[in-house]
Chain A
Amino acid sequence: MPGCVFGLLGPNGSGKTTLFRILTTLLAPDAGSVTVAGSNPQSDGHQVRAQLGAVYQDTALDDELTVEENLRFHGALYGLKPADLNKRIDELLARFSLTERRSSYVKSLSGGLQRRTDLCRGLLHRPAVLLLDEPTTGLDPAARHAFWSILLHIQKQENTTILLATHLMEEAERCDEIAIMDRGAVVTQGAPDDLTAAMGSDVLLLESDTPSALRDHIEAQFGVEAHVVGSLVQVTNGDIHHLMGSLYEAFGELIQSATIRKPTLEDVFMAHAGYHLEGGAARFTESTLQL
C-alpha cells in the first residue's frame, strides 16, 4: 500500500537486513523475486535505486564533512540539480531543526542529530519508498520520539511509503501494518491492533522450573493453547481470569509466579516464534546459570 508505514519486526538474524540488501540491489535473492514500485531490483537496478531512500543502522555520513557538505555530496550522487538540491536541503534542514547545524562537522553532533541528518540524506531525492533499518539504534527515548514525530510528519506530507526493520515493540506499534519475522520467514502479518486483538483480551504468563511439563498438563486438562517461552508458559485465548484459579488449584506446585496482562506485540511474537524478542539473550544466560 503506497503511503503506509510497514514494519518488519524480528530479532537480529531474522533476515530483515538481508531483505533490505536485496531491495537496494546490493544482493541477489537466493530464490524468489521482489518488486519495488513496479520494478525488479535485479534487472532494473537503476530504476529501483532512484525510487528508494535508505537509512541504515550505521549512519552513511562522512564524519569529517559538515552537515551541508554531506547532503550536497549525496544529492550529487542522485544527480539532483544544484538549484533543486539547495531548496531541498534548506527545506529538510528547517523541518528537522538542523538549520543552525548546517556548517557543523558531523563528528561534533550528538547521536540524535546525526540520525536526523542521515534521515535528511535518505529523503533528499523524495524517494517513493524509504527503507529504515533499525534507524534509532543507540538513541535515548526522547531522541527516538523526536526522530519519529518529524519523520511521520514528512511521510504524510510527501506520501512516502516506509518499510521499517526493527526489534523494538515501541517502533513496531507506530506502523500501519507489521510482519513478524523469525529465521528468514514471515510468521504472521497484520495491523498491530488486529494482531494483539487476536490473542484474546488477556494473556497469562506462568513462570515455572518445568515449563514443558506444565504446558502439556494445561493443554491436556483444560484444552487451551499454551506456548513455552524460555522459563515461561504463555496462555492466550481463553477466559484467563477464570482459568488462573483453576490452574493454581491443579498445578500450584509447578508455578512460581503468574502474570496477567493485556496482550502486546511481544506476546504476539512469543506466541509465533517461541522466544522473547527483547532481552532474549539475557534470559538465555539467566536460565543457563540456573543449570
Chain B
Amino acid sequence: MIATLYQAIAPVSALWRREVIKFLRDRSRLLGAIVQPLGLWLLLGLGFQQTFQMPGDAVAGINYLEFLFPGIIALMILFTAIFSTISVVEERKSGFLQAAVAAPMSRTVLVLGNALGGTTLAVFQAALFLILLPVIGFSVSVQGLLLVLLASILMGLAFTALGFAIAWRMDTTRGFHAVMNLFLLPLWFLSGALFPAEGASPALAWLIHLNPVSYGVDLMRQGLYMPADAPLHLASIGVGLLISTVLAAVLIAWAVYTVRRPLFSDT
C-alpha cells in the first residue's frame, strides 16, 4: 500500500521539483517575472490615475492603482502558469518526454507534476508581489490573504493545465505563442481586471460575466478588502470559488485527456 502510494507520488514530486529548480536557477526569468508586471502596474495605474473614474458614488475615492492591483496579480499568474508549459513543445520532440512516457507510470502523472510545478512558480510570484501591498496603503487580513492565495492556486492549476494541453498539440513554440496570445489577452482584458463590468458597455459587461477568469480576479479583489466588502465585485465568494474550482477541474481533465494522444503526430 505504502509502496504503491510512493510510486504514485515520487514521479509527481520529481516533476514538480524539476520545474522549481529550473525556475530558481534562471535569474532572468525570476527578474522578468517581477519587473514586467510591476512595470505594467505602474504604467497603467499612474497613467490612468486622473482619467479613470469609478462608476457610482459609493466608491468614488478608489484610485486606479488600487483598482488594478488584483488584476495584475491575475495577469502574472496567467502568464507564468501558461508559459511554464512552453518547454513541453520542445521536449515532446526531444528524447526527454519520450523517456518520461516510456516510464512505468500513468501519463496523468505528467499533467499533475507539471501543473503543480507551474502553479507553484505562479503563486510564488504572486506572493512576492503581495509584499507591495503596504505601498498602496492596503493592510490585508489573514483570511483575505488566504483567499487571494487560494484563488491564485486555482487559477494557476487551470492555466498550467490549459497550457500543457495546448503544448501537447503544438509542433512549434511559435504556434504555441500565437495560440496563447489569442486566448490569454482577451481573457485578461475581459476579466474585470482593467475596468469593472459596471462601467462598460452592455456587450462587454456581458462578456465579463461569461468569462470564468473574471471570478478568479473577483476573488482576489474581495480577498484584498476582507473582511470589508470589496467595491464593485461580481459574485459572492462561494460562487467565485465554485466557478474557479470547476474551471480548474475541467481544464485538468482536458489535459489528462489530451496527454493520452500519441507522442508522434508524424507516424
- Residues of A whose CB lies within 8 Å of any CB of B are 18, 21, 24-27, 46-47, 49-50, 52, 54, 56-62, 64-65, 69, 72-74, 76-81, 118, 121
Interface stretch, picked from B43-51, B66-74, B94-102, B143-151, is: B94-102
A62 touching B96, Cβ below 8 Å:
yes
Q: Which residues of B contact A60 (CB under 8 A)?
A: 94-96, 98-100
B11 touching A77, Cβ below 8 Å:
yes
Q: Which residues of A contact B105 (CB under 8 A)?
A: 77-79
B7 touching A24, Cβ below 8 Å:
no
Among A54, A58, A79, which residue has its beta carbon within 8 angstroms of that of B102? A54
A79 touching B104, Cβ below 8 Å:
yes
B267 touching A121, Cβ below 8 Å:
no
For the complex, what is the distance from the CA of A58 to the CA of B93, rounded to whole Å?
A: 9
For the complex, is B262 an interface residue (Cβ under 8 Å from A)? yes
Q: Which residues of A contact B6 (CB under 8 A)?
A: 79, 81
User: Can you list 5 A-B contacts with CB-CB less than 8 angstroms, sorted by A residue number?
Assistant: A26-B102, A64-B22, A69-B18, A73-B15, A78-B103
Q: Which residues of A contact B18 (CB under 8 A)?
A: 62, 65, 69, 73
B95 touching A58, Cβ below 8 Å:
yes
B7 touching A18, Cβ below 8 Å:
no
Residues A58 and B94 in contact in the complex (CB < 8 Å), given A26-B262, A79-B104: yes
A76 touching B13, Cβ below 8 Å:
yes
For the complex, what is the distance from the CA of A78 to the CA of B103, rounded to whole Å?
A: 6
- Which chain B residues (54-95) contact chain A, with CB distance < 8 Å? 94-95
B99 touching A69, Cβ below 8 Å:
no
For the complex, is B184 an interface residue (Cβ under 8 Å from A)? no
7 additional A-B residue pairs with CB within 8 Å, beyond A73-B14, A76-B14 = A24-B98, A49-B103, A73-B15, A77-B11, A79-B7, A79-B11, A79-B104
- Distance in angstroms from A275 CB to nearest chain B CB is 23
B98 touching A49, Cβ below 8 Å:
no
Of chain B, the residue at the smallest CB distance from A122 is B99
Residues A27 and B262 in contact in the complex (CB < 8 Å), given A78-B103, A81-B6: yes
A50 touching B98, Cβ below 8 Å:
no
For the complex, is B183 an interface residue (Cβ under 8 Å from A)? no
B99 touching A121, Cβ below 8 Å:
yes
B99 touching A65, Cβ below 8 Å:
no
Residues A77 and B103 in contact in the complex (CB < 8 Å), given A60-B94, A65-B21: yes
- Distance in angstroms from B72 CB to nearest chain A CB is 29
- Distance in angstroms from A86 CB to nearest chain B CB is 14
For the complex, what is the distance from the CA of A118 to the CA of B95, rounded to whole Å?
A: 10
Residues A49 and B21 in contact in the complex (CB < 8 Å), given A26-B262, A79-B7: no
For the complex, what is the distance from the CA of A18 to the CA of B178, rounded to whole Å?
A: 31
Q: Which residues of A contact B99 (CB under 8 A)?
A: 54, 56, 60, 74, 121
For the complex, what is the distance from the CA of A78 to the CA of B101, rounded to whole Å?
A: 11
Query: Which bucket holds chain B's interface residue count?
Result: 20 to 34
A72 touching B14, Cβ below 8 Å:
yes
- Which chain B residues (3-62) contact chain A, with CB distance < 8 Å? 6-7, 10-11, 13-15, 17-18, 21-22, 25-26
Q: Which residues of A contact B95 (CB under 8 A)?
A: 56-61, 118
0/1 interface trace, chain B 191-216, chain A, CB 8 Å (1 if under):
00000000000000000000000000
Q: Which residues of B contact A47 (CB under 8 A)?
A: 104
B263 touching A77, Cβ below 8 Å:
no
Residues A21 and B14 in contact in the complex (CB < 8 Å), given A54-B102, A69-B21: no
- Which chain B residues (252-267) contact chain A, with CB distance < 8 Å? 262-264, 267
Of chain B, the residue at the smallest CB distance from A47 is B104
For the complex, what is the distance from the CA of A59 to the CA of B95, rounded to whole Å?
A: 5
B10 touching A76, Cβ below 8 Å:
yes
For the complex, what is the distance from the CA of A59 to the CA of B94, rounded to whole Å?
A: 8
For the complex, what is the distance from the CA of A64 to the CA of B23, rounded to whole Å?
A: 10
Among B14, B21, B98, B262, which residue has its beta carbon within 8 angstroms of that of A77? B14
For the complex, what is the distance from the CA of A79 to the CA of B6, rounded to whole Å?
A: 7
Q: Which residues of B contact A59 (CB under 8 A)?
A: 95
B267 touching A46, Cβ below 8 Å:
no
Q: Which residues of A contact B102 (CB under 8 A)?
A: 24-26, 49, 52, 54
Q: Which residues of B contact A21 (CB under 8 A)?
A: 264, 267
For the complex, what is the distance from the CA of A57 to the CA of B26, rounded to whole Å?
A: 28
B11 touching A76, Cβ below 8 Å:
yes
- Distance in angstroms from B162 CB to nearest chain A CB is 23
- Distance in angstroms from A88 CB to nearest chain B CB is 14
Of chain B, the residue at the smallest CB distance from A105 is B25
B25 touching A64, Cβ below 8 Å:
yes
10 smallest beta-carbon distances between A and B, as pairs: A60-B99, A76-B14, A79-B7, A60-B95, A50-B104, A77-B103, A58-B95, A56-B95, A49-B104, A24-B102
